[in-house]
Amino acid sequence: MISYGLKQRLSSIAVYIILGLMAFISIFPFLWMVVGATNSTSDIINGKMSFGSALLLNATTFFTQVNVPLIFWNSAKITIIATVLTLLISSLAGYGFEIFASRFRERLYTLMLLTLMIPFAALMIPLFMLMGKFGLINTHIAVVLPTIASAFIIFYFRQSTKAFPHELRDAARVDGLKEWQIFLLIYMPVMRSTYAAAFIIVFMTIWNSYLWPLVVLQSNDTKTITLVISSLGSAYYPDYGAVMIGTVLATIPTLFVFFAMQRQFVEGMLGSVK
């Protein structure tokens, strides 16, 4: 007969083992990536799991095959512009739908939520033709435009706005602030953690986006880091050593954003589920 205390301890050890294993599996590919960046391709495909001496060679290969500063600049430009615009336009809408509720807008809101179910594959061809008509194929504007109004982010902001204290708005209005001033000077600062969480989600989605940029960006000098990794990595015999350098470089910005804003991110997520 096992005592209650012992049983308790055994089950808590089991919890640590399961979670530890999960954490290990989750982190392992990151280690593999870093180790791989220092190994030659033949070492990588033979599963070598210790640091090698091919880092410089891999980096040289990658930097000669790819115009790294330009590609990074492309990714950064697209991501920053699209993220700022998405946060602005979508938070305006989320706030507007919640604060200025009307029956007609409520119907539009429902319709808008339905667009969440539209698969991108069904939009790809008409969007491509539309961009062709505007003469925007192979431009970064074409990548940014369709991402700005995100139904998901609007939904997220509307949910979070429910927690925005009415007293603040009322007081501001009594003080004679205009609606846009209330939004800019009161709502935005108060909702910092909501913005932070949305920032992380949008930043990562756009930095990592693949299918639409693949369709629209056709020349090498407009491509993003994600597209470059894909074209190097999907070759039949990829030069894994060089690709690893690319994946490390592509992952650093998202890792940085995540760790810099992790606390606000968790707070923001909690706020939206409440």
Judged by CB under 8 A, the chain residues 172 through 191 that form the site for other proteins are 173, 179-180, 183
**Least spacing, CB of residue 272 vs other proteins, in Å:** 8
In this structure, are residues 44 and 241 in contact, taking their beta carbons and an 8 Å threshold? Answer: yes
CA distance 33 to 212: 26
Q: Which is nearer to other proteins, 70 or 111 (CB)?
A: 111
**Least spacing, CB of residue 89 vs other proteins, in Å:** 5
**Of 68, 123, 177, 186, which lies in the binding site for other proteins, with binding defined by CB under 8 A?**
123
**Of 115, 163, 185, 190, which lies in the binding site for other proteins, with binding defined by CB under 8 A?**
115
Maximum separation of any 2 CA atoms in the chain, in Å: 78
CA distance 212 to 144: 10
CA distance 216 to 195: 29
Size of interface with other proteins, in residues (CB under 8 A)? 98
Q: Which is nearer to other proteins, 97 or 199 (CB)?
A: 97
**Least spacing, CB of residue 142 vs other proteins, in Å:** 10
Residue 37 backbone phi and psi in degrees, to 5: -65, -20
Specify the stretch interacting with other proteins by CB under 8 A; choose among 57-65, 66-74, 76-84, 257-265.
257-265
260 contributes a contact to other proteins by CB under 8 A = no
**Least spacing, CB of residue 23 vs other proteins, in Å:** 4
Q: Which is nearer to other proteins, 17 or 70 (CB)?
A: 17
Site for other proteins in 10-69 (CB under 8 A): 11, 15, 18-20, 22-23, 25-27, 29-30, 32-33, 36, 44-47, 49
Specify the stretch interacting with other proteins by CB under 8 A; choose among 56-64, 76-84, 169-177, 188-196.
169-177
194 contributes a contact to other proteins by CB under 8 A = no
Residue 110 backbone phi and psi in degrees, to 5: -60, -45
**Of 127, 136, 177, 188, which lies in the binding site for other proteins, with binding defined by CB under 8 A?**
127
105 contributes a contact to other proteins by CB under 8 A = yes
5 contributes a contact to other proteins by CB under 8 A = no
**Least spacing, CB of residue 60 vs other proteins, in Å:** 19
**Least spacing, CB of residue 239 vs other proteins, in Å:** 11
In this structure, are residues 195 and 94 in contact, taking their beta carbons and an 8 Å threshold? Answer: no
Residue 66 backbone zone (phi > 0: left; psi -120 to 50: alpha; other: beta):
beta
CA distance 2 to 13: 15
Site for other proteins in 224-253 (CB under 8 A): 226, 229-231, 233-236, 238, 240, 243-244, 246-247, 250-251
Residue 19 backbone zone (phi > 0: left; psi -120 to 50: alpha; other: beta):
alpha
Alpha helices in 146-191 (DSSP H): 151-161, 166-174, 179-181, 188-190
Residue 99 backbone phi and psi in degrees, to 5: -80, -40
Q: Which residue, 102, 185, 113, is CA-closest to 149?
A: 113
Side chain identity at residue 159, one-letter code:
Q
**Of 2, 117, 135, 219, which lies in the binding site for other proteins, with binding defined by CB under 8 A?**
117
In this structure, are residues 244 and 250 in contact, taking their beta carbons and an 8 Å threshold? Answer: no
